[in-house]
Chains A and B, each alone.
Chain A
Amino acid sequence: MRKLREIFRFELAYQIRRVSTWLYFAVLAIIAYNSIRGNYVSDARNGDFFLNSPFVVAAVTVLCSLLWLLVAAAVAGDAATRDVQTPMHPLTYTTPVSKAEYLGGRFIAAFVVNALILLAVPAGILLALYSPGVEAEILGPFRPAAYLGAYGFIALPNALIATAIQFSLAALNRRGVASYLGSVLLFVSAYIVAGGVAVLVQRELGKLLDPIGVVTVLTELSSVWTPIEKHTRLIRLEGTLLWNRVLWVSIALGMLAFTHRRFRFGHPAASTRWRRGARRRDVHSPALAAKEITRGAPISIPQVPRTFGVATHVRQTLAIAWTSFRMIAKSRGGLVPLAVIAVLAGLYMLGHMEFMSVPLLPRTEYLITFLTAPLTDARSPWIIIPLLTVFYAGELVWREREAGLSEMADAAPVPEWVIFAGKFLGLSLVLAAWLALLTAAGMLAQVRLGYHDFEIALYLKVLGGLQLADYLLFALLALVVHVVVNQKHVGQLVALVAYGFIGFASALGIEHNLLVYTADPGWSYGDMSRFGPSLAPWLWTKLYWTAWALLLAVVGKLLWVRGRERDVGVRIRMARRRFTRPAAGAAAAALALILILGGFIFYNTNVLNEYHSASDTIERRAEYERRYGRYESVPQPWLTGTSLHVEIFPERRAADVRGTYRLVNNSAAAIDSIHLATASAVRTGAVTFDRPASGVLVDDDLGHRIYALEKPLQPGDSLQLDFEVHFEPRGFRNGGADASVVANGTHFTNQEWLPAIGYQPSRALSDAGSRRARGLAPRPAAPSLYDVEARGHRTDAEWTTVDVVVGTDGNQTAVAPGSLRRTWTDGGRRYFHYVTDAPIRNEYALVSASYALHEAQWNGVTIQIFHHPGHAANVERMVRSVRAALSYCTRQFGPYPYRHIRLIERPSGGFGLHADAANITYEEGFSRLNPEDSTRGLDLVFSVVAHEVAHQWWGAQLWGAHVEGALLLSETLAQYTAMQVVKEAYGDEHLGRLLDEMRAAYEVPRTRAGVPLLRATDGFLAYRKGPFALYTVSRYVGEDRVNTALRYLLEKHGPGVRPLATSLDLYQELQAVTPDSLQYLLHDLFEANTFWELETERATAVRTAAGTWQVTLDVRARKVVVDSAGVETAVPMDDWVEVGVFASAEKGGKSGKPLHVQKQRIRSGKQTIMVMVSGMPARAGLDPNHLLVDLKIDDNEKQVKALVVRP
Chain B
Amino acid sequence: MELHIRGVSKTYANGVQALRDVTLTIPAGMYGLLGPNGAGKSTLMRTLATLQEPDTGTIHLGDVDVVAQKDAVRQTLGYLPQEFGVYPKVSAEELLGHFAILEGITARAARRSVVEALLRRVNLWDVRKQKLGGFSGGMRQRFGVAVALLGNPTLMIVDEPTAGLDPAERVRFLNLLSELGESSVVILSTHIVEDVSELCTRMAIIERGEILLEAEPLRAIDGLKGRIWRRVIERSALAGVEREHAVISTKLLAGRTVVHVYGDTLPAAGFEPVEPDLEDVYFSTMAGHHGRRHAQP
Which A residues fall within an 8 A CB radius of B? 269, 275, 278-279, 281-282, 285-286, 288-290, 292-293, 296, 298-308, 311-312, 315-316, 319, 323, 327, 330, 403-405, 407-415, 562-567, 570, 573-574, 577
Contact = CB atoms under 8 A, between A and B. Distances in A.
A301 B114 contact: yes
Contacts, number: 164
A40 B138 CA distance: 64
A306 B151 contact: yes
Interface stretch (B1-9, B49-57, B198-206, B216-224): B49-57
A311 B169 CA distance: 39
A178 to B, nearest CB: 16
Contact of B136 (A285, A574, A577): A285
13 contacts: A281-B127, A282-B134, A285-B123, A288-B123, A289-B172, A299-B121, A301-B118, A302-B110, A302-B114, A319-B102, A403-B85, A413-B75, A413-B102
Contacts of A312: 104, 106
Interface of B: 13, 46, 49-53, 68, 71, 74-75, 77, 79-81, 83-89, 98-99, 101-107, 110-111, 113-114, 117-118, 120-121, 123, 126-127, 130-131, 133-136, 138-139, 142, 144, 147-149, 151-152, 166, 168-169, 171-172, 175-176, 179
A750 to B, nearest CB: 68
Nearest to A563: B51
A312 B139 CA distance: 30
A302 B75 contact: no
A1136 B32 CA distance: 107
B133 A269 contact: yes
Contacts of A307: 104, 106
B133 A278 contact: yes
B88 A269 contact: yes
Contacts of B75: 306, 308, 413
Given A300-B117, A304-B105, A412-B99, A292 B127 contact: no
A405 B134 CA distance: 16
Contacts of B138: 286, 289
Given A304-B110, A306-B105, 4 more contacts: A282-B127, A302-B113, A413-B103, A577-B68
Contact of B99 (A278, A298, A311, A408): A408
Contacts of B79: 407-408, 411
A411 B136 contact: no
A292 B106 contact: no
B135 A282 contact: yes
A67 B178 CA distance: 59
B87 A405 contact: yes
A839 B178 CA distance: 105
Nearest to A418: B102
Contacts of A308: 71, 75, 104
A304 B107 contact: yes
B133 A411 contact: no
A714 B86 CA distance: 96
A286 B166 contact: yes
Given A302-B117, A563-B46, A288 B172 contact: no
A323 B98 contact: yes
B134 A285 contact: no
B122 to A, nearest CB: 9
Given A282-B135, A562-B51, A301 B127 contact: no
A405 B81 CA distance: 9
A776 B133 CA distance: 72
Q: 8 tightest CB-CB pairs across the interface, nearest first?
A: A404-B85, A563-B51, A278-B134, A413-B74, A304-B110, A306-B104, A412-B102, A411-B79
Contact of B46 (A407, A566, A574): A407
Contacts of B81: 407-408
B224 to A, nearest CB: 33
A316 B53 CA distance: 25
A723 B79 CA distance: 83
A315 B114 contact: no
Q: Which of A299, A307, A407, A410 has the most CB of B within 10 A?
A: A407
Given A302-B114, A306-B104, A315-B106, A407 B51 contact: yes
Contacts of B105: 304-306
Contacts of B149: 301
B211 to A, nearest CB: 21
B104 A290 contact: no
A466 to B, nearest CB: 34
A404 B83 contact: yes
A285 B151 contact: no
Nearest to B127: A285
Nearest to B138: A286
A1122 B229 CA distance: 108
A327 B52 CA distance: 28
Among A296, A299, A412, A573, which residue has the most Cβ atoms of chain B within 10 A?
A412
B283 to A, nearest CB: 31
A308 B69 CA distance: 14
Nearest to A411: B79
A286 B123 CA distance: 10
B245 to A, nearest CB: 40
Given A411-B50, A411-B74, A281 B86 contact: no
B86 A563 contact: no
B183 to A, nearest CB: 12
Contacts of B98: 319, 323
A285 to B, nearest CB: 6
A298 B74 contact: no
A275 B130 CA distance: 10
Contacts of A403: 85-88
A411 B156 CA distance: 11
B11 to A, nearest CB: 10
B191 to A, nearest CB: 19
Given A286-B166, A299-B120, A301-B114, A293 B134 contact: no
A352 B3 CA distance: 72
B168 to A, nearest CB: 5
Contacts of B49: 407, 411, 563
A1066 to B, nearest CB: 74
Contact of B51 (A288, A410, A567, A577): A410
Contact of B168 (A279, A289, A323): A289
Nearest to B109: A304
Contact of B53 (A293, A410, A573): A573
Given A301-B149, A407-B46, A563-B51, A281 B134 contact: yes
A298 B118 CA distance: 11
A293 B110 contact: no
A311 B142 CA distance: 31
Given A269-B134, A278-B131, A288-B126, A301 B117 contact: yes
A315 B118 contact: no
